Amino acid sequence: MKRLLTEKGAMYFTESVALKVVSLLLALILWITILGFKHEEIKKNVKLEPLIPLGMMITNKIPAYVQFTLSGPRVLLKDVEKKIQPIRPDLRRTRESTIGFAVSEDLIGELPSGVRVVGFFPANVLIRLEEIIERYVDVKPTFRGNPAEGYEISSFKVFPSKVAVSGPKSLLLALEYIGTEAFDIQDLKGVKEGIVSAEVDTNQGLQLSRDKVVRVRVSTKKVVRTEKMEE
């Protein structure tokens, strides 16, 4: 009899624990469900990647992203956030050099029911396009240091003396010369030759079309000092 009571007590204890575990799981599922459908706001940066005509380039600074503020249930927002594609306004057929377009919620595509756009920045984007051309530009070497005491640079030559550079038309037509990485002439006596990289300002859209390096030859001579003769 005592054994039977013990077994029944153990069974009741086990059932009680099982019921508590089930209740806890149900409460957890309910909490997660409620939390998932709780309304929130998130900010999503969407890449801006304009499609431009061949042989043209964007010459002004445009935002890399458009920031959208989305509102809706958390579970839906997480799903939408993964599916949003970059914004790619198609400018390939335009003949204008300055284009402005207004940002709208339609740019991020169709949103599920319950999710909406409550804000975005910037509201407008201005894009300036310019033709890309190529021309040969003089190369002027950049020197580091000074010749030996009593010497000065007598001449220098660059081979090739001009290199092909491509970039926005207005900038390239106004460009007189490009530089090089520093060529060391510290304590130089006589002649020195070396190969250095030609350099352009890539931040302005300039690129070296073909020749990337040049040969520099520097010659020095003694400084001749003349003194006035005393009478």
Identical fold between 39-122 and 132-222: yes
Under CATH, which architecture does the 132-222 domain have?
Answer: Beta Complex (2.170)
Q: CATH assignment of 39-122, given 1.10.760, 2.170.120, 2.60.40, 3.40.50?
A: 2.170.120
pLDDT higher than threshold 50 for residue 198: yes
| Whole-number Cα distances in Å, 20 to 14, 16, 24, 211 | 10, 6, 6, 77
CA geometry: angle 143, 144, 150, nearest 5 deg: 90
Confidence of residue 228 (pLDDT cuts 50, 70, 90): low
- Return all residues near 50 (Cβ < 8 A) that are at least 6 apart: 58, 62, 88, 89, 91, 127
Q: 64-94: b or e for each residue (b if 16 or more CB lie within 10 Å)?
A: eebebebebbeebbeebeeebeebebebeee
pLDDT, tens digit, for every residue of 15-24? Answer: 566 666 666 5
pLDDT higher than threshold 90 for residue 7: no
Specify the pLDDT at position 49.
95
- What are the residue boundaries of the structural domains of the chain, listed by start? 39-122, 132-222
pLDDT higher than threshold 50 for residue 45: yes
- Return all residues near 78 (Cβ < 8 A) that are at least 6 apart: none
Looking at 31-40, 87-96, 122-131, 159-168, which range is the least confident one?
31-40
- Return all residues near 23 (Cβ < 8 A) that are at least 6 apart: none
Distance in Å from the first CA to the final CA of the chain: 143
133 or 84, greater pLDDT = 133
pTM, whole model, 2 decimals? Answer: 0.67
Looking at residue 116, its amino acid is R
